[in-house]
A and B are shown apart, each in its own frame.
Chain A
Amino acid sequence: MLDQSNIFVHLAAGHNSPRPKQFKKERIMKLSKLCLVACMMVLVAGLIAGCTTPQATTQAPAQGADQQPPETKPAEVVIGVYEPMTGAQAAGGAQTYQGIQLAAEQNKEVLGVPIKVVLVDNRSDKTESATAMTRLIQQEKAIVVIGSYGSSNSMAGGEVSEKAGIPVIGDSPTNPLVTEGKQFYFRVCFIDPFQGRVMAKYAKENGIQKVAIIKNISQDYSVGLSAFFRTSWKELYGSEDGIVAETSYQDGDQDFTAQLGAIKDADAIYAPGYYGDAALLMKQAREMGFTGLFMGSDAWEAPELGQIAGAAAEGAVISSHYSADAATSPDSKAFVDAFRAKFNETPNTFAALGYDAFNLALDAIKRANSFDPKAIRDAIAATKDYPGVTGSITINETGDAVKDAVILQVENGAFKYLTTVKP
């Protein structure tokens, strides 16, 4: 049986290769194969149908997606969105997109041209983020892009948009490197050196003497924030002696018992990672008898945190951008009401930031009075005192917004507003 002597012989070593079969048997085989192919096609068709619904939301009747020169009025203006809708950061992406959906519903056109919002899932993955950005720019002809939850995703996407010269407004990537050295990347949120300081200060004010840091080394967000927290801790406490341990994990890890084993005697654990990791980490820490405080960052803010961690999450404190409880301006109150009416839930940080990012993009198009990406970029860069629902947004020379942070505490699985911290 010569046909087995190929390179896959170790795989093929089991049974024998095809041998002459009776005609009838072959026909049955063919039939069953046909059936299988038909089944597969139905499934794939279902998949495609299922995928397109959340992926491309048409706000106006689509009439040829071709971008026309900015002088003439285009048939529609495409605003691209790339967010993690699946994977470890799915909740963040989904919440952000809710905010964007609401904003898009309230604004159906800009400069008299209908808006088309195109969402591409970046799957919480760096490579996919670059692909998603490429698709939005090349295929969908987006003139401005919004995204992404997750600093690593944004950094990967930013490389593509920078080369293409398409402006991007980040909703919630907080790592400084997202906008550093980039002409076309902006954001409507604060950055991590500030966020790290907010939690170090909280620790100091609440008598935390010994802290352990657990970071996700696969995520720039987590690595960066840990470093900024450490720096601020040193400034505030005078030394790093209080940081009793710094340990790490990586994407996909679910077992943190070994990391936690070393840090039983800390007063607090600071674990700036994503909500899913944080929830498992807190649960395992409590199971191992850890009684101290959990401190986290904005990426903890998702209903899943409380659902998964249950009682273990109670009392955990995080820094974030926004709280519906603290919404005071008429605009932000109107946003909360409209959001509740549409989604039947209270908007959280990411929904509010997505809403602001989208509206800022429209505002910039209006101020530029043009659909030219370069002109829009300049208009975004010149943003001053834009009244967002998450606070006043002024884009500084690095492309970032300087804004207040809020401190939230988990109570009955939900995030309760504690206080606001000024930059």
Chain B
Amino acid sequence: MTFEAFMQNLMNGVSLGSLYAMIAIGYTMVYGILRLINFAHGDLVMLGAYWVFYGVAIFQLPWWVTFPIAILLTTLVGIIIERSAYKPLRNYPRINLFAAAVGVSFLLENLAIVIFGGRPKAFSRPGFLDSQIKIGNVTLVSYTLIIIVTAIILCALLIYIINRTKVGMAMRAISKDLETTSLMGININHIITIAFAIGSALAAAGGILWAVKFPQLNPLMGMAPGLKAFIAAVLGGIGNVWGAMIGGLLLGVVEIMLVALFPTMAGYRDAFAYAILILLLLFKPTGIMGEVQAEKV
């Protein structure tokens, strides 16, 4: 591989990885606070993209209006899900909550098939995301850079919220011990709702940028990113925001590089990518940035 080809593949990998990362940080944050693997996260990604589609196609709104509205609507859906499906189960064993999350995911997917229809929809990119940039022999489209920058900004913002604000402090407290936190006079329902709202907003942002990169919407489009983001979160050490970012980037770059190095085996890239993942987890079970957790009994 020439240096230019390497750079081209690296950029493609980083851009794909940033999308994984953006979705993974929301995933990992919800897990970190509630110990809930929110399987519906991928479907919120899908919803975010569809809201933009309808905003543009039906209401003819410009992108700077539709993007925030789409994020807001998805956040609302996320809050409704948390209030109706997860909150009533909070005091039951985790496995119930997990099953509820899978149920919500199927519900959203099938509702989307009925409401949005099974045929794919075309997502039209705003002009500023569609211009080509040439650096030497490396060709990039402007969305590549925007995706990377957005991922970094959102990740930094999230870390700031978690580490530097009162809400973040409450979140960290809840992740340590829910009951003691509530004894300290913190409204845990309020905080958990905020966590879900932030997670859903991140999913929506990821969904919109996913649709910008792959402008084809279908009701099951959230499955693949959701799964990949979950894997990225585990790879980075689930519960750790920086870890999810690194895990996402790593997954994206490895996927692209494997195909670039072995083009004839391209169709089997997932098999190789996940063989590597299993190996990594065998040697480092808590992921790249994960800490060993003491069992609480």
A60 at the interface (CB under 8 A from B): no
A166 at the interface (CB under 8 A from B): no
B214 at the interface (CB under 8 A from A): yes
Contact mask A372-393 → B, CB, 8 Å, 1/0? 0000000000000000000000
Name A47's contact: one of B114, B218, B220, B266 (CB within 8 Å): B114
Name A11's contact: one of B94, B122, B177 (CB within 8 Å): B94
Contact mask B89-122 → A, CB, 8 Å, 1/0? 0111111001000000001001101110011111
Give the size category of B's interface with A.
35 or more
A156 at the interface (CB under 8 A from B): no
A41 at the interface (CB under 8 A from B): no
At the interface with chain A, which of B61-69, B197-205, B256-264? B256-264
Contact mask B19-39 → A, CB, 8 Å, 1/0? 000000000000000110100
B215 at the interface (CB under 8 A from A): yes
B186 at the interface (CB under 8 A from A): no
Q: How far is the CB of A217 from chain B (nearest CB, A)?
A: 4
Q: How far is the CB of B113 from chain A (nearest CB, A)?
A: 5
B270 at the interface (CB under 8 A from A): yes
- Report how far A161 CA is from B220 CA in the complex, Å: 29
A370 at the interface (CB under 8 A from B): no
Given contacts A94-B119, A255-B256, A261-B5, contact A43 B263 (CB under 8 A): no
- Report how far A47 CA is from B216 CA in the complex, Å: 24
Q: Which B196-241 residues sit within 8 Å CB-CB of chain A?
A: 213-216, 218-220, 223-224
Contact mask A223-242 → B, CB, 8 Å, 1/0? 00000000000000000000
**Residue ID in chain A nearest B97 by CB atoms:** A11
Q: How far is the CB of A77 from chain B (nearest CB, A)?
A: 28
Q: Which residues of A contact B115 (CB under 8 A)?
A: 50
Q: Are A43 and B84 in contact (CB under 8 A)?
A: no
- Report how far A299 CA is from B258 CA in the complex, Å: 28
A36 at the interface (CB under 8 A from B): yes
Q: Are A283 and B215 in contact (CB under 8 A)?
A: yes
Q: Which B243-276 residues sit within 8 Å CB-CB of chain A?
A: 255-260, 263-264, 266-270
Q: Are B266 and A258 in contact (CB under 8 A)?
A: yes
Q: How far is the CB of A330 from chain B (nearest CB, A)?
A: 32
Name B84's contact: one of A3, A36, A46 (CB within 8 Å): A36
B9 at the interface (CB under 8 A from A): yes
B88 at the interface (CB under 8 A from A): yes
- Report how far A86 CA is from B8 CA in the complex, Å: 35
At the interface with chain B, which of A145-153, A201-209, A243-251? A243-251
B141 at the interface (CB under 8 A from A): yes
Interface residues contributed by chain A, number (CB under 8 Å): 65
Name B110's contact: one of A1, A3, A47, A249 (CB within 8 Å): A47
Q: Are A276 and B216 in contact (CB under 8 A)?
A: yes
Q: Which residues of B contact A85 (CB under 8 A)?
A: 118
Q: Which residues of B contact A32 (CB under 8 A)?
A: 88
Q: Which residues of B contact A252 (CB under 8 A)?
A: 223-224
Given contacts A14-B34, A32-B88, contact A255 B139 (CB under 8 A): no
Q: Which residues of A contact B34 (CB under 8 A)?
A: 14
- Report how far A217 CA is from B268 CA in the complex, Å: 9
**Residue ID in chain B nearest A258 by CB atoms:** B259
- Report how far A13 CA is from B94 CA in the complex, Å: 8
Q: How far is the CB of B143 from chain A (nearest CB, A)?
A: 9
Q: Which A1-16 residues sit within 8 Å CB-CB of chain B?
A: 1, 3-6, 8-9, 11-16
Q: How far is the CB of B131 from chain A (nearest CB, A)?
A: 10
**Residue ID in chain A nearest B95 by CB atoms:** A8
B293 at the interface (CB under 8 A from A): yes
Q: Which residues of A contact B98 (CB under 8 A)?
A: 11
Name B216's contact: one of A8, A14, A308 (CB within 8 Å): A308
Given contacts A1-B297, A14-B34, A279-B216, contact A91 B256 (CB under 8 A): no
Q: Are B263 and A13 in contact (CB under 8 A)?
A: no
A288 at the interface (CB under 8 A from B): yes
**Residue ID in chain A nearest B130 by CB atoms:** A287
Given contacts A36-B88, A254-B224, contact A287 B132 (CB under 8 A): yes
Q: How far is the CB of A76 from chain B (nearest CB, A)?
A: 28
**Residue ID in chain A nearest B83 by CB atoms:** A32
Q: Which residues of A contact B121 (CB under 8 A)?
A: 307
Interface residue ranges, A against B (CB under 8 Å): 1, 3-6, 8-9, 11-19, 21, 29, 32-33, 35-36, 39, 43, 46-47, 50-51, 85-88, 90-91, 94, 121, 215-218, 245-250, 252, 254-255, 257-259, 261-262, 276, 279-280, 283, 287-289, 304, 307-308, 310
18 A-B pairs within 8 Å (CB atoms) are namely A1-B297, A4-B93, A16-B179, A17-B93, A18-B92, A43-B111, A215-B267, A250-B270, A252-B224, A254-B216, A258-B259, A261-B12, A261-B260, A279-B122, A280-B214, A287-B141, A304-B216, A307-B121
Interface residue ranges, B against A (CB under 8 Å): 5, 8-9, 12-13, 16, 34-35, 37, 84-85, 88, 90-95, 98, 107, 110-111, 113-115, 118-124, 132, 139, 141, 177-179, 213-216, 218-220, 223-224, 255-260, 263-264, 266-270, 293, 295-297
